[in-house]
Amino acid sequence: MGVVALSAAAGGGAAWFITHEQGDHIEYIERTVERAPALGTHFTAYESGQYPDLTYAAENAVKAVVNIEAVQRVEMPSRGQFGYDPFLEFFGFPQGYGRRGGGEEPKYRERKAGGSGVIISEDGYIVTNNHVVDGATKLRVQLNDGRTYDAELIGKDSSTDIALLKIEEKELPTLPFGSSDALRLGEWVLAIGSPYNLRSTITAGIVSAKARSLGALSNDPQDFSIESFIQTDAAVNPGNSGGALVNARGELVGINTLIQSQTGSYIGYSFAVPESIVKKVVVDLKQYGVVQRALLGIGFDAIDQEFLDRNGEETGIKELGGIYVGLVEEGGAASEAGIRKGDIITEIDGVPVNDAATLRERIARHSPNDRVKISVKRAGKVKLFEVTLRNKAGKTDLLTKEDIDMAEQLGGKFAEAGERLCRELEIKGGVQVVGVKADGILARARVKEGFVITHINDRAIYSLADLRKLTGKITSIDGIYPNGRSASYMLVE
C-alpha cells in the first residue's frame, strides 16, 4: 500500500506514517522529519478539546426562539374610474392610477409575513424586530414545541428596529441576557430563527466586527436611528429577522436584524442589534410604552481620513480619531454643559469614541435626565464635562405613552420639501409624504404620497427636525399637494 501521511509537524521532530496494513494490523514507523523554515509565520497548536462546544447553547436557546406570523390588511388597488388602462401601466403608472368611481368602497385582502422572536420572560414577553410586526393587524406566535398564541403588540421602535410582544402564558422557556460589550472579535456565536418556515434553524459563525453602521434604518444623518450592529458570518436569511444571536454560554447578545446582500439572500454578512440597545428599548417599552430616548443635541462627524481630506485644512485638525462637533443645538444638553462647536469628543464615560455608531450607542443606553461624562479636546487641552441628557423636545422629563412621537402616529415616510418645490408652492418649508403605512393616521385620512405637510395642530412644520420634536396627540394636519391643491384634515374621535 502507498504511504499516507496522518500528521506532520511544521519543522523538525517526529511524525507518524502508515507504511502498510495487512488485515486488521497496521504498522506504524516513527521517522524524523526536517522542519521547514517558519518564514515569519507564527503557528499556535490548537487542541481538539479547545474547540467551543456549542451544543449546550444551541439545545437550550432554541427552546426560547419563536416563529412570528404577521397578518396585514392591505387595500386592493382600484382600476380607476375609467377602468384598467394597460397603456398607463406600461409606462409605470400603477393599476390604481386615477380616482375610484361611482362611490366604490375600498376592498382589502390579508397578506402574511413572518419572522422570529425571542422569549425574554417566563410570563410571555417576546422581543423581535420592528420591521417584522410593522403594519400588522394581527400577530400569531408559534413556540418551539408547536403551541400557538395570539400576541399583543406592547410597543415598537423604528429607530432601533426593536419591538416587544406579549402572549398569555406562564412558565415559558427564556433566554437570559448576556453582554454584547464583552463580545470579542472572533468569538463564536449562534444565530437561531425560522427562515423559510424552517422552525428552529441554527447556524454558527464568529463575531466579525462591532459597532457597524450601515445607514439601513435611515439615510438621514439627523434622524434618531441608532445603528451599532454586531456583524457576524453566521448564515442569516429572510425569516431570521428578530431571532436570537447567542454566545457559547447560551446568553442572548443580540437580535438578528438584517443581511447585506445584492441577491436578498445570505452571502456572508449578517448584522444584529446588540444586547446593550435591546435591553434598554424593551425595558422602556414594557414600563412606559415608549422609548425614553436621550439626546446630546449636537451635529457631528467622525474624524477619519475622509474628514481630514475634506475639512482638515479648514478646522486645523491633523490627527485621526475622535468626533468633531460641527453643530450645537441651542438649549440642548451639550450646549447647556458648555460643549462648543469645534470641540473634539474623545470619550464618553471613559469609553473611547472614534465613530458615529459608538457615540450613538453610548448615548442610547441612557434616558433623559441621566448624566454622562464626556471628555473633549479643545485648543490642544482635554476638558471633562458632565452632561445632563435631554429628550427630543429639549427637556429632561421622561415621556409618557400620551407623548407618542407624531411622526410615528402619522404612519409614513417623510422627506424635506426641497427649495424648488417650496418656491413652486409658495411656502416657507414643509415635510413631504413619500410613503404611507397601512396602520397610521395618513392612511386612515386617505392622504396621498406627495402631500406636503406645513402645519400640525396649527404649529408650523418647516423641516423634518420640526416634525420629530413634536409629541402629543394629532388633531389637525394642513398642507398642500404638488399640483397646488391645499388640504386640511381634522381628526375626530
Task: Round to whole Å and give the CA distance between 419 and 405.
Answer: 26
> Kind and range of the H or E element at 455?
strand 452-456
Where does 62-118 have alpha helices with state H? 86-90
Domains 298-388 and 404-490 are alike in CATH topology:
yes
CA-closest candidate to residue 448, choices 100, 161, 112, 138: 100
* Nine cell digits for residue 103: 362611490
The per-residue pLDDT for range 290-312, each reduced to its tens digit, is: 889 899 999 999 999 999 999 99
375 is catalytic: no
For the entire predicted model, the pTM comes to: 0.73
Q: Is 96 exposed, middle or buried (0-12, 13-18, 19+ CB in 10 A)?
A: middle
Query: Does residue 195 register a pLDDT over 90?
Result: no
Residue 433 near residue 450, CB atoms below 8 Å: yes
Where does 217-274 have alpha helices with state H? none
CA-closest candidate to residue 177, choices 251, 285, 283: 251
- Assign 98 a pLDDT band (cuts: 50, 70, 90): very low
pLDDT of 80 reads 52
24 is catalytic: no
**List 159, 228, 241, 335, catalytic entry:** 241
CA angle 97, 100, 101 (to 5 degrees): 125
Query: Does residue 28 register a pLDDT over 70?
Result: no
Query: Does residue 89 register a pLDDT over 80?
Result: no
Least confident residue range of 70-74, 220-224, 454-458: 220-224
Query: Does residue 249 register a pLDDT over 50?
Result: yes
> How far is CA 256 from its chain centroid?
9
3 state DSSP class of 55: helix
Residue range 404-490, CATH number: 2.30.42.10
**List 78, 116, 131, 478, catalytic entry:** 131
Task: Round to whole Å and give the CA distance between 344 and 382.
Answer: 9
Q: Which CATH class is domain 298-388?
A: mainly beta
In the block, which residue shows the cell 402645519? 455
Q: Mean pLDDT, to the nearest integer, of 347-374?
A: 94
Query: Order of strands, edge to edge, in the sheet holding 138-142?
Result: 148-150, 138-142, 65-75, 108-119, 125-128, 162-166, 152-157
241 is catalytic: yes
pLDDT of 216 reads 67
pLDDT of 88 reads 41
Residue 184 near residue 217, CB atoms below 8 Å: no
CATH 3.40.50.10190 assigned to 56-290:
no
**List 161, 343, 355, 405, catalytic entry:** 161
**Domain boundaries defined on the chain:** 4-45, 56-290, 298-388, 404-490
CA-closest candidate to residue 395, choices 422, 375, 367: 367
Q: Is the dihedral of CA 431, 434, 439, 442 positive or negative?
A: positive
